[in-house]
Structure 1
Amino acid sequence: MKALIPVKCRDDLKEHQILVPEQISDVHIESIAFGTHQYPCHGILHGGHSLYLSESLFKKLLLPYEGNIHVFVHEGTLHLGPLIGIFTAGFTSSMIRPIGERSLFFSKLLSTERKVGAYMFLFGANHIDWKEGTMEGFMFTEHGWKKKILPFPHVVYDRLPNRRTEKHRLLAQTREKMQTDYAIPWFNPGFFNKWDIHQKLMIEENIVPYLPETHNDVSIAKMEKLLCKYPFIYLKPTNGSLGLGVYKIIYNREEETYYARYKNEDFVNKLQRSSSLEALLTHVLKNKDLSCYLIQQGIPLLKVDDSLVDFRVHTNKDEQGNWVVSAMAAKLSGKGSITTHANSGGVIKTVSEIFSDKTEQEAVIHKLSLASLLISNAIDTHMPGFIGEIGFDFGLDKEHKLWMFEANSKPGRSIFYHPKLRNEDILTRKLSIEYAVYLTEHTIKNPEGVFS
């Protein structure tokens, strides 16, 4: 059984005593657990609604504070939680901003824990005491950031900031050891590879119509061929993000000239031209290896106020482990930009701000919701590990046909700067914790099955 109940400490109880409320009184309890810590206990029934622990047990379990949390009972053990560890990197020596500029995002995420009934903390590879089976976790309290010694968590939510960090040997070893030696589910474990995702989705007949023609065997000849077929093409890094390294290649037949639009390392929009595609690529790529890129069909996107529009859709798994649409927004490109990213002057709008006609609005929302849930389930089926959230970039062409450009396992959160998307901001954070509740319950009840 599972219940959300107040858990409190009592200094008048004997060392191993707990007072068990009526809603779980039909279960014989022999031990109590929090994260990976477990101790024998003696349960005494009482008529209240709270679960009371002796001061000794409360301290041994390393419970950080009293509060309303989930209680799972399985085979005579009462499990308190979930205890969710958020794994990241980039810690500083400051307790005001322990994770640098990302501290604000994490403080918002951790402050959602009490709405769901969970304990959450941040940790890095260097905060683990393997010998003691504990971690030094960073918790966000009403008094700001605090360090607490905690047991190993029920689940780990991976929030490593970038691909380079993810490949670091110590961080990869930490993930492997916690999953293998401790059977701790680790969700959103890696950044998606664009080509890998494309190949897996091409297996699904009902998803193929959403996918632009894409190739990973990039060559001048292949690009020339696609430029004969489409008005323009995109050259994209297989493992890129934030629109960096994306080139829009256009061939003007009248001028017999090739153009490349792109954004440089300083996020400045650039336009380069040449009579030769090979010369153009040599100039803009600066001898970068073409094998690290994909070429993709260019889609003439819908325009609003002379700006290109695409759409960001967030999907999350809920407390039942089902995919739901959690947020949706339109993104308008900045002047001279080939992408709608905020760092290129892109503007966030709600779907209703883009489409004033109610019928059109509803039709677009329906299309985006249907496609994002369909593709979320397909990715979940074909990708290994536990996936709890995905951010999609979609586009509508001039005929209102929907195209999926990208799927991100660690979606950015720039759309939530829009004041009308505050509820969605909270919902996406809440759902991440609810999915951790789901994983916790399933791991407790069937530790082998959850990894199968």
Structure 2
Amino acid sequence: MRKRYLIEVVQNDQLIVFCPEALLKGRIIKRIAFGSKSMAVDFYPHPDSHDRIVISKRIQRQLQYPNLNIPLHAFIKNEVLTIGPLVGIFTSGFTQNFGQPLGERTAFFANLLSVNKSVGALSFLFGEQQIDWEQGIIEGYFFYKNKWQKYEVPFPNVIYDRLPNRRSEKRQKQKKVKERLQKEYMIPWYNPGFFNKLEVYERLQQDASVERYLPETHPFTSFSHIESMLSKYGHVYIKPKNGSLGLGIHQIIYDKQTNEYYCRYQEKGEVNRLRKFHSLEKMFELVFAHQPLDKMVVQQGIHLLRMNQRAVDFRVHTNKDDAGIWQVSAIAAKIAGPGSVTTHKRSGGEIKTLSEIFPLKKAAEYKEKLETAALHLSHALEQNMEGIIGEIGFDLGIDRHGNVWLFEANSKPGRSIFSHPELQAFDLLTRKLSIAFAVFLAEKSLLHPEEMYK
């Protein structure tokens, strides 16, 4: 475990830093850095043995270090001691209300920043409008002592992407910020974008280690192609390539006995519908009249485990930890709402723990299968997708034969499963890990940049 040091600010203007003797031993250090700012100072061992780094008020001002009483890591390379990491969380949608700077998303970010002390990082929120490119500073939103506070800080060591949706991600301003901070300032940027369902499937298909988890998936091309998939699987799903929250998903079922087609979907107003048609063409004419079919994928239907005639699937979160290693951080079962095509809560779905719905032995068996699949898939996505990925939310299914299937991978997973009382400890774990991974990235970029940018 990396050592952390309390940063003590004393009321003088000396350009002197006092450090624990063990930190200085056998090293020549000439500068101190915080985020993108650094300055020349003299280093001395301090007279007592406490694990703290003592800086003057002048050094604090020059480094623009907010003194929030959080023990931080110390990284030493090329005669520079860097305290931190300073972690910028990039998002959009800031409001004029300082008490609720991100509207209804404020509570999530307050909870996310509340892990700073336990992880040993200074993380803050910012958007493109908070950046002063001329001065090289950001007006960051910090959550400290249960309230929001603004501090001007240097550019961070690492950036965690928490843009809320694809629309904000596509804006030119956001793209330019990302490109500039990554290319000009060489700041590692993790969880960089939303996944496209078809792209995920096509990339993973090349990887033999995860091929078995992939249901047959194709871009929508023709009715005859859907007909052939229906005769093969009995039912298929039609989904938007860039959908989220289960919106726009349709299940098409073919009854061989009656030669009829059924379509299960959710109408506007969140009403679950099941409609019968004599032909596929008629179904598409009536149900898909306003759907952009060129932006849809067709996916093999899976006969899932069921509870009381309702389909069950699973949300599995994986995170990289402070050693850069993937771990499973949460698993929940989701039971479809009555007549619903998805297991989402907004469609009447219920969140359960595995032990609530399966006998002990079965719950343990399914947990192991889901964890194994999620870790294999995490490694495969990391290898086959661009950017630095630090967390993934998987929607997985288990069929009647016990096989695991991947339905979706989310780079910015929703957090509805954590409303379950027994999953709240995992909510905290996922938040801790998402910032702990920033510590790993900061250390790597400061001490081994050749590994980051090879």
Same fold judged by TM-score > 0.5?
yes
Question: Conserved in 2, the CA contact under 8 Å of 1:84 and 1:120?
Answer: yes
Report the counterpart of residue 289 of structure 2 in structure 1: 286
AA matched with 1:8: E
Give the whole-Å Cα distance in 2 for the aligned partners of 1:415 and 1:217.
31
Check 1:98–1:364 CA distance in 2 against 1; reply closer, same or farther (3 A cut): same
Check 1:214–1:321 CA distance in 2 against 1; reply closer, same or farther (3 A cut): same
The question of 1:348 aligning with 2:348 is answered no
Per-residue CA distance 1:416-447 (angstroms, 9 max, x = gap): 00100111100000001110000000111133
Question: Conserved in 2, the CA contact under 8 Å of 1:139 and 1:148?
Answer: yes
Give the whole-Å Cα distance in 2 for the aligned partners of 1:185 and 1:236.
33
AA matched with 1:179: Q
Give the whole-Å Cα distance in 2 for the aligned partners of 1:289 and 1:30.
61
Question: Conserved in 1, the CA contact under 8 Å of 2:70 and 2:122?
Answer: no
Report the counterpart of residue 303 of structure 2 in structure 1: 300
> Which runs of structure 2 are paired with 1:133-148 in the superposition (5 Å)?
133-148=136-151
Per-residue CA distance 1:366-422 (angstroms, 9 max, x = gap): 100111001100100111110000000111111221111111101100000010011
Give the whole-Å Cα distance in 1 for the aligned partners of 2:33 and 2:318.
32
Per-residue CA distance 1:333-382 (angstroms, 9 max, x = gap): 111111001111111101111112x2211111110011100110010011
> Which runs of structure 2 are paired with 1:30-109 in the superposition (5 Å)?
30-46=30-46, 47-48=48-49, 49-65=51-67, 66-109=69-112
- Quote the offset at 1:273 in angstroms: 2.6
Per-residue CA distance 1:8-43 (angstroms, 9 max, x = gap): 10114x431111112202122100001001111111
The question of 1:380 aligning with 2:379 is answered no
AA matched with 2:218: H
AA matched with 1:40: A
Give the whole-Å Cα distance in 2 for the aligned partners of 1:219 and 1:160.
35
Higher mean C-alpha deviation, range 239-248 or range 44-53: 44-53
- Give 3-state SS (helix, strand or coil) of 2:184's partner: helix
The question of 1:183 aligning with 2:186 is answered yes
Where in structure 2 are there 5+ consecutive unaligned residues? none
AA matched with 1:446: H
The question of 1:114 aligning with 2:117 is answered yes
AA matched with 1:391: G
Question: Conserved in 1, the CA contact under 8 Å of 2:70 and 2:116?
Answer: no
- Quote the offset at 1:266 in angstroms: 2.9
- Quote the offset at 1:56 in angstroms: 0.3
Give the whole-Å Cα distance in 2 for the aligned partners of 1:108 and 1:360.
34
Report the counterpart of residue 25 of structure 1 in structure 2: 24
- Give 3-state SS (helix, strand or coil) of 2:81's partner: strand
- Give 3-state SS (helix, strand or coil) of 1:373's partner: helix
Higher mean C-alpha deviation, range 246-255 or range 50-59: 246-255
Compute the RMSD of aligned alpha carbons.
1.3
AA matched with 2:375: L
Aligned residue among 364, 372, 392 for 1:390? 392
Give the whole-Å Cα distance in 2 for the aligned partners of 1:226 and 1:283.
21
Higher mean C-alpha deviation, range 301-310 or range 337-346: 301-310
Give the whole-Å Cα distance in 2 for the aligned partners of 1:321 and 1:118.
16
Higher mean C-alpha deviation, range 294-303 or range 63-72: 63-72
Higher mean C-alpha deviation, range 40-49 or range 435-444: 40-49
Question: Conserved in 2, the CA contact under 8 Å of 1:82 and 1:440?
Answer: yes
Question: Conserved in 2, the CA contact under 8 Å of 1:2 and 1:73?
Answer: no
- Give 3-state SS (helix, strand or coil) of 2:245's partner: coil
AA matched with 2:20: P
AA matched with 2:14: E
- Give 3-state SS (helix, strand or coil) of 2:330's partner: strand
- Quote the offset at 1:2 in angstroms: 5.5
Where in structure 1 are there 5+ consecutive unaligned residues? none
Give the whole-Å Cα distance in 1 for the aligned partners of 2:431 and 2:270.
29
Per-residue CA distance 1:117-140 (angstroms, 9 max, x = gap): 110111011110000000111111
- Give 3-state SS (helix, strand or coil) of 1:224's partner: helix
Report the counterpart of residue 170 of structure 2 in structure 1: 167
Per-residue CA distance 1:182-223 (angstroms, 9 max, x = gap): 000110000011111111111122311111111114311100
Higher mean C-alpha deviation, range 213-222 or range 295-304: 213-222
Question: Conserved in 2, the CA contact under 8 Å of 1:244 and 1:265?
Answer: no
Give the whole-Å Cα distance in 2 for the aligned partners of 1:295 and 1:393.
17
The question of 1:231 aligning with 2:230 is answered no
- Quote the offset at 1:252 in angstroms: 2.1
> Which runs of structure 2 are paired with 1:220-299 in the superposition (5 Å)?
220-299=223-302
TM-score normalised according to structure 1 size: 0.97
